[in-house]
Structures are given as structure tokens and as C-alpha cells.
Amino acid sequence: MTADTLPALGAPATRGRVDALRRQLRDAGRRSLGFPNATDLDLRGFADLWRTPLNNVGYPGEATRGFRSHTLELEYEVVQTVADLVRAPADDRTGLVTSGSTEAIKQALLHARDRFGAVRVYASTAAHTCIAKIAHQLRVPFTPVPIDNHGELDYAALSAAIAGSAPGEVPLVVATAGTTMVEAYDNVRLVHAALDAVDVPADKRHVHVDAALAGLALIDVPDGIRPAFDFADGADSLNISGHKFLGVPQPCGVLVMRDSTRGPLDRTLTYTGSADLTVTGSRSGHAPLMVWLALQQFGRAGLAARADASRATARQATQWLREAGITTAWRHDLAFTVVLPRPPAAFLARWPLPVDGDTAHIVCMPGKPRELVRDFVTEYAAAMHQPRSRALDPAQRGADQKDAIAC
């Protein structure tokens, strides 16, 4: 197909392609347990708005005389609501809706770099690969820190790494609340203790929390088992993803940060009459609207109930797996993620799962039916009990591993 032979939108060939795409997506959805997208957000009834052009160029809470078709007020409300849920100080908060968690983390670390100058980023080896990528893009050195047996940051190793770094470098620590492969939680209080232990001054550090997957699933976990992950625990900035636990159908994220941790702001006015404070220029107006609708639909009680239901499904999945002879299947107590031995390639072709070395996982997100999990366990156990016909090709293994990180 070339541009001058493009068929009209209503042409049968076009409709045929779209119908084929629909079938393909429906099939893909049927065996989708590997990637952490909730499926219970119901946006029917708002379809007219998807046809309305929206552009949130500018910054939520700042004056604009830009494009009038925007959702900046709703975006401001989203930031305030998420800030409340993660206990950000009422008099020291700012933030925005981004294209995803990567952009949110980049914005937070960009501010920290501009504020401190010489900095070094630390994150565990289980942190999302975007942390190393962002450090590279910002030309900031990055030190990966080892993890313990369950995927949580090794705090003593963090202290040691900081003690061994160049004098004058301000540590920017990215803690992960829900790591990509096993959904482990780094403890923000212990991160601060690790910094105290090597005499890092309280005003010469920044702790960002990457809570992309599960931040809003943790807010009402009872004290005692609630991971220390939010602003009351010492976070300076925190991101969540909109397309994971909230189930927004378009990739997006929310960044909340202490206003006082923003770097020097360039307040040069653009053609919209507002300062250009964002990583990108034109920004989605639909994403904040969808996140706002998700928060309206679920409410605080709904977020907690969905989290509980997902955990119950994950607990059930683990039990089914063990009953089926997969005795090494395990999960963290609060996780939606169930960690499993890596299945054979033929099984992965049918049930796509992220893999990392010898392990794989499923994620029991809100909206994923138990029957789907049941079917998965049955087929998975059958595949694992078959004698393996050939050893895994190590080169192929490396390639698969790279694919796995993409979510």
C-alpha cells in the first residue's frame, strides 16, 4: 500500500483490515495474563469525547491562554487526588499526567539533576530498565544495586555503593514499589536509613518511588503489612501508570512530586502564555480525562476492593499451581504477580508471558476472570509435566529476556 493508493475509510478493504485487527485483538485478550493491564474500566458512554480534539499543552494548575480544548482542570484534580492517596503534603505538591511512567520518572529525575548539579542515580537490579535509560538520556551516572533473594533492594549494598561514590555527588535513589518480574517492594524508610548510615545530609538526597504497577493498590493495605512506599514514608516524588492497575486503554502515567524538589524553573512564556515546564510539548488531554474517569468509577473503596480481589485470584492461582505439581510457584503476600518456572517455547507462543532467565510470571490484574487463570494453570501444568524434548538454546534465551523487559 502506498499513500496514493490508500483506500477510503469506508472501503470494504479498509473495513476488512480493521475487522481482522479486531479479531486478532480479541484473541490476544483471551490468553493475556502475562502483562499487567486491568480490564474492568468501563468508558462506554464517553465515546463522543474521543472524537473531540484535546491538547493539554501547558501545566496543570498554571494559567493558560493556549488551545481552549483541554482538560487541564481535570488533570489538576487527578494530580491532587493521587497526591492525597499517596499522602503527599497538602502545601508542597505538584505534578502532571504523562505519556507513561518512563516520562514521569524522567521529569522527576530531570528536576533533581537541575536542582543538585552533580548527582548519581541508584536503583536495584530489579528496577525497570527505563531507569538506566533515563540516566543515560540525562547524562547522569547510574549505579545498579544488588537485591536480596526476594527481589528487594539490599540496603547495606546501597549504603556501601554511596560510600564508595565520588565526593559531592548527590544520590538520587529510585525505589520500586512493585518490581517488574516478581512485584517486590523496596522500603522507602530503609532507603533513608541507608542514606543516614553513610551521613548523606537530609537536604542532599532525592528518593523517587516508581510505583507504576501497584501504587494505588497499596494505599489501604493495613498498617503492619503496608509497604513503606509513599510521601509519608519519605518519598520526594512518585509515579503510577494509568494503563496498569487503573486499566486506562491508552498508555499514560501520573507524577506527583514535592513542589520544593523542583529544580530552577524556566519561566519563559511560550505562545500559550504559560511557561513550558514539561518534557513534551503538546500533551494528551484524553489521558487525564480517562484517569479522572477511572478514579471516579472506582473511588477509594473500589481501588481497595479491586486490589483485594486481584490478590485473592493470585493466591488461588498459586494454590492451583502447587496442587498441579508446580511446587516452586510463589508470590509476595501483596502481589498480583505469581512467579513460575519458565515454560517451553511452544507454550509461550500460545500464552505470551514475560520471562527472565529460568522464571516467568502471570499477573492477576482486576478484570481478569478466574476461569482464565484456571485454564492457564491446566495448560501450563500439562506443558510442564511433558518431558522437555530439547534443551533451550542459550542465544534464544538471551533474545527472549530482552523482550521480557518491554512491559
Ligand X SMILES: *Cc1c(COP(=O)(O)O)cnc(C)c1O
Q: Which amino acid is at 363?
A: V
Q: How far apart are CB 121 and ligand X at their closest, in Å?
A: 14
Segment near ligand X (CB under 6 A); pick from 54-62, 185-193, 206-214, 264-272 = 206-214
Across the strands, what pairs with 172?
Answer: 121, 206
What does the DSSP 8-state code read for residue 393?
A: P
Q: What does the per-residue mask of binding to ligand X show for 162-201, with x meaning CB under 6 A?
A: --------------x-x-x---------------------
Sequence-separated (6 or more) residues with CB below 8 Å from residue 9: none
Residue from the set 75, 77, 186, 210 that interacts with ligand X by CB under 6 A: 210
Q: What's the rounded Cα separation, in Å, for the pair 284 and 53? A: 9
Nearer to ligand X, 55 or 176 (CB): 176
Number of residues that make up the chain: 407
- Report strand pairing: 359-363 vs 355-356: antiparallel
Q: Is the dihedral of CA 296, 302, 306, 308 positive or negative?
A: positive
| Shortest separation between residue 127's beta carbon and ligand X, angstroms | 7
| Residue (212 or 290) nearer to ligand X, CB | 212
- Sites for ligand X among residues 244-273 (CB under 6 A): 251, 253
Nearest to 158 by CA among 141, 146, 172: 146
- C-beta of 153 vs 377, nearer to ligand X: 153
Is the Cβ of residue 66 or residue 100 nearer to ligand X in the bound state? 100
How would you write 254-285 as a 3-class SS string? EEEECHHHCCCCCCCECCCCCECCCCCCCCEC
Name the segment binding ligand X (CB under 6 A); options: 100-108, 262-270, 304-312, 315-323. Answer: 100-108
Radius of gyration over every alpha carbon of the chain, rounded to an integer in angstroms: 22
Q: Interface mask (CB under 6 A) for ligand X, residues 113-152, using x and -? A: ---------------x-x----------------------
Q: Name the minimum Å distance from CB 45 to ligand X.
A: 26
* Interface stretch with ligand X, choices 19-27, 52-60, 96-104, 352-360 (CB under 6 A): 96-104
Span of 89-97, 116-124, 209-217, 303-311 interacting with ligand X by CB under 6 A: 209-217
C-alpha torsion sign, points 349, 355, 361, 366: negative
Q: Between residues 72 and 252, which has the closer beta carbon with respect to ligand X?
A: 252
By C-alpha distance, which of 172, 117, 116, 163 is closest to 142? 172
Residue with cell 513460575: 340
List interacting residues with ligand X (CB under 6 A).
100-102, 128, 130, 176, 178, 180, 210, 212-213, 241, 251, 253, 407
